[in-house]
Structure 1
């Protein structure tokens, strides 16, 4: 039996339907990501699980128990928001200890649990600091410690890293994943960042307009998109109609559909060399954009535009206006 189960969840605000018959499951100990653009319903589903929003239809189960209308305090769920919501008049120790005090736990037990949580998020020596004295990353760690110190059944993370700079964000992604694995805590993470979802998740559920568009492991989601939306949101695929694909490659498909091609599978060369099992044609470089260690080329071919990502190597650079030979393996052209 799945540890968390959403069954045909509907959520409406007046005439606006935010969640449309959402059904998905989470296994014990997994870190599952709800991924999608702003307004797609992912945070609303999280809040329904926490009991901060009432569903308009459907049921929610945690560890076999129906919690659809259970009071939030009785669900044993910890949550970290995008805004950390720390108590400004309490120091780090007091913020982390707050939930334990509400449970009327003995002070010695509180000290032991808080010390363990502080060590887990690497904040030793900051116990007496006030929130205003902490960096954004440190405040995020306090919020995380406050959520895990009560040993909840489920941890919910609602875009907790969105306000943090890129370098620290990558570090905290690793820390959250490590803590989640060490504790074995079932976790649901919400983000609109596909790279973040790929790095952190056991399973990704991609949301679109209040529905689950596609679900799978990060590798499955990246390499096997099932719809145009999935291909465009994860992997930045080139998406062409069968007619556009024929115009570009000179090869016709027997039926009308869309073709998705990942940029890194579009190979460029200055000279033609035949390759079995590939589409090969010519194009012209019309733009180039450095993206870290990758150079993204925009290419015109047969009146169509396609992008190619190549490693930034000086021996294989092309200039705007250069004619290039393009090779795409048949297996890398995914029919949608």
Structure 2
């Protein structure tokens, strides 16, 4: 009989926490006992796991006794506070926040890209899930980097409101309805109206004029690919519910033709090639939503430089960009490292 593992989902009532639960169910993760943890205001709510009721408990430092794996999606502050407590209790934490991503003793993992890094979980008992936009980009770029060595990346993201959470999803819904009624919409989650608008700001601005979201992509990409690649990013919030889209331009050391790039991506793990301009076939957010593959298309040479390529990359930010990636890490963890 296969071993079962006791799992805690921290932030179980949130958008990503709920998707983590679904992914555990869909992928038949060998769960023994499951514990749902959230803030005091959510304690007492009843959710389900495989059709059985599970009561949400208040997150405390004593919540992790007997837990083998803790999936965290409750924000950076809670992760900084509670991941060490969970690790001290014997659980391996897989954290979706930015709290631990750049810690040199914490592996930052995308299973299709750097699964070997999971071995470093032993240093602190924590594994970091990268930023959603970084995940889909490196899944697409890894086979190209291995073949031709990427020197520079210029990326512009078009990110769905679900990346901000349930409140943002609800706000976009309400704003659309309000505007169709001819009224002025309420603005609360973002600095400006998001319905029928694009906001070139995700997170706060730094002294260099870039937002935190943009700099996450810079630093995380280098750590995951283990290379000092030049990266510059512009992150934009768009009125889409699910699915981040990215325009990615790369410069490589060695020539990479469109035909070779398509061949590499067609067989790359976690990638679906959607690239037939003659039939207007290319990745779209509505196609990526609800699945775990990273869709890649619009592959074409950058004619302004010798070794340049353009790609359009789309993925479900809540699934592959967060929940599914975390569960995939847990699957490798129990297969290769935990006994």
* TM-score (norm. length: structure 2): 0.27
More strand by share: 1
The TM-score, its normalising length taken from structure 1, stands at 0.27
